Amino acid sequence: DGGITQSPKYLFRKEGQNVTLSCEQNLNHDAMYWYRQDPGQGLRLIYYSQIVNDFQKGDIAEGYSVSREKKESFPLTVTSAQKNPTAFYLCASRKERGNQPQHFGDGTRLSIL
Amino acid sequence: DQQVKQNSPSLSVQEGRISILNCDYTNSMFDYFLWYKKYPAEGPTFLISISSIKDKNEDGRFTVFLNKSAKHLSLHIVPSQPGDSAVYFCAASRTYSGAGSYQLTFGKGTKLSVIP
């Protein structure tokens, strides 16, 4: 079955630690996205990538980093510079032709110990 | 500045009746609109979309209406079922080539409860 896999489902981080969230897709989609959702809020874009080896900052990129070395993979690192990292993180991908919806993984919930 | 607004945080509807979820936008450059459904601790699931060249799009029990002059869209669910209980997000984007194309801007969501 084609889809987007995010792992782990739950992640705990100590203060001052970096942590990496995994996102893998087998949909052969060109574009991939990372969003953050906070309680009572919509999804806010952190980073996106339209093609391998290229990515752009979204609205709230500070304290985050990404890489796009393979078409299938778009890992997100939450660095110690991110002051309020506790949130639900969602990865999405999209076929980069015309009006196509983004499709989402099931998310990773990150909590600070 | 919130470019996509869902002014009703919650909505309760009886099973079998119509659910109407509303969404307003401020950016006149938006020309592609989507609705997503989300259950707790899961990712959003794409429901239905509409391009600005249309004013209505139907898919089974779901219909999206777009009023460009009012910058307003709505999602109608008929008949509503208990399994429709979820948070519904409205999203908008503008279609153009180049960096940032097709980025989605989301509303804050409306929690729909369908009462059996």
**pLDDT per residue as tens digits for the range A54-68:** 999 999 999 999 999
CB contact under 8 A, B106 and A44: yes
Identify all chain A residues contacting B106, using CB atoms and an 8 Å cutoff. Answer: 42-44
Contact (CB, 8 A) for A6 and B65: no
* Stronger pLDDT, A40 or B29, i.e. the higher one: B29
| pLDDT for position A52 | 93
Contact (CB, 8 A) for B107 and B24: no
| pLDDT for position B98 | 59
User: Hey, of B103, B105, B110, B111, which one would you mutate to test binding to chain A, going by the most A CBs within 10 A of its CB?
Assistant: B103
- CA nearest A50: which of A35, A29, A36? A29
| pLDDT for position A91 | 97
| pLDDT for position A21 | 96
Instruction: Report the gap between the CA of B79 and the closest CA in chain A (Å).
Output: 25
CB-based contacts of A99: which residues, under 8 Å, 6+ apart? B32, B49, B51, B95, B102
Classified as helix, coil or strand, A71 is coil
- CA nearest B104: which of B38, B39, B41, B27? B27
- Kindly state the DSSP code that residue A113 receives in the 8-state scheme: -
B contact residues 48-77, partner A, Cβ 8 Å cutoff: 49, 51
B41 CB within 8 Å of a chain A CB: yes
Identify all chain B residues contacting A42, using CB atoms and an 8 Å cutoff. Answer: 4, 89, 106-109
Identify all chain A residues contacting B41, using CB atoms and an 8 Å cutoff. Answer: 88, 106-107, 109
| pLDDT for position B78 | 97
Instruction: Report the gap between the CA of B17 and the closest CA in chain A (Å).
Output: 26
Q: What percent of chain A has pLDDT over 70?
A: 98
| pLDDT for position B99 | 56
B103 CB within 8 Å of a chain A CB: yes
Residues of chain B with pLDDT under 70: 96-102
CB contact under 8 A, A109 and B41: yes
CB contact under 8 A, B45 and A104: yes
* A and B: number of Cβ contacts within 8 A: 57
A16 — pLDDT class (breaks 50, 70, 90): confident
- The sign one gets for the Cα dihedral A96, B99, A33, A54 is positive
* Stronger pLDDT, A79 or A97, i.e. the higher one: A79
Which own/partner pairs from B64-71 qualify as long-range (CB within 8 Å, at least 24 positions apart)? B64/B33, B64/B35, B66/B33, B70/B24, B71/B24, B71/B25, B71/B26, B71/B28
| pLDDT for position A47 | 96
| pLDDT for position B66 | 98
Instruction: Report the gap between the CA of B57 and the closest CA in chain A (Å).
Output: 14
pLDDT, average across residues A93-113: 89
- CA nearest B32: which of A58, A49, A91, A100? A100
Q: Strand pairing of A31-37 and A43-51?
A: antiparallel
| pLDDT for position A79 | 93
- Helix or strand holding residue B15 (H, E): none
